[in-house]
Amino acid sequence: MTTPTLLVLDADPLPRLGALAGRVRVEHTDEAHLAERLPAADVLLVWDFASHAVRGAWPGGGPRPRWVHTASAGVDHLLCPELAASDTVVTNARGIFDRPIAEYVAALVLAFAKDLPRTLELQREHSWRHRESRTVAGTRAVVVGSGPIGRAIAGTLTALGVRTALTGRTPRPGVHGPEELDRLLARADWVIAAAPLTESTHGMFDARRFGVMQPSAHFVNVGRGGLVVEDALAEALRRRWIAGAALDVFEEEPLSPDSPLWDLPGLVVSPHMSGDTVGWRDELGAQFVQLYELWEAGEQLPNVVDKQRGYVPGH
């Protein structure tokens, strides 16, 4: 029996795959050599989940891996027409980031409500300035994206007393459809973007959507950078159409040091870290090992991405 070849698109630190020793031939590659290494691989692990190299390397002649796993929730960075049309199974890291991202969003909501960014500014200025803050209980939130991450965010905000509505691609019990989004935005104190990036969601938060929101509303994006028209958000903040925003993801990452987003009034910038808690890489590695063992045994894999929709269906 031929030993399968696992090709890893590297990023530091490398995944811990010792549990697979002797069962699979593990080879490593960087972006520059990915295309030439693909034909010899049975499985591709996209450990460098920030890389877009798969989209460029996948088209072409020769065999392709039967299974691709990305160590991320989003898959827009690797899907291309050729991969989408192939028989290759694509899986993602669904389940790893739900709770950490929900906690991060709750922290941002509380920080905005309690005016913590301004408190820290005043401390640096040695300025004693008493203010009043808001209570989050009884406020309204709309979470855009009804997958595991969106549901975890909604549950955490509900536990804080926030009246939370969840929206998704398809309406069903507990989930509002896209046709209700504008109505919900107009009443929301907190708007949380947690949707996958697809053709239908790209740029969904544009000038019109920010114009629908209340002047007291805060916007948080922990989904994908492409969900937001960044120039429109900048204009909304400058004109005070909304009270504030927090971005953990961006159209271009890392964010350029000379980007105007750094200095926008009322904007909190974080470097795509909302789901990254202590030990998260080990969890991603352990998850892949579990999936590999299923694949090796010929069993059905969980977290299979619908390559036409761009996410794992069934939620």
Which is the catalytic residue, given 23, 25, 66, 272? Answer: 272
Q: What residues contact 39, with CB distance under 8 A and at least 6 apart? A: 62, 63, 64
> How far apart, in whole angstroms, are the C-alpha atoms of residue 274 and residue 253?
14
Q: How far apart are the first and last CA of the chain?
A: 38
Residue among 71, 312, 254, 281 at smallest CA distance from 54: 71
Q: Catalytic site residue 176?
A: no
Query: Are the CB atoms for 68 and 90 separated by under 8 Å?
Result: yes
Q: Catalytic site residue 224?
A: yes
How many CA atoms within 13 Å lie on the side-chain side of 168? Answer: 19
Which is the catalytic residue, given 27, 252, 253, 293? Answer: 253
Residue 263 is classified by DSSP as G
Q: Catalytic site residue 52?
A: no
Counts for the chain of helices (H) and strands (E), in that order: 10, 11
Q: How far is CA 45 from the centre of its chain?
A: 18
Length of the chain: 315
Q: At what angle do helices 98-113 and 148-159 cross, to 10 degrees?
A: 40
Residue among 19, 23, 71 at smallest CA distance from 45: 71
Which amino acid does the sequence have at 190?
W
Which is the catalytic residue, given 169, 224, 230, 281? Answer: 224
Give the three-class secondary structure for 273: coil
Q: Which residues are catalytic?
A: 224, 253, 272
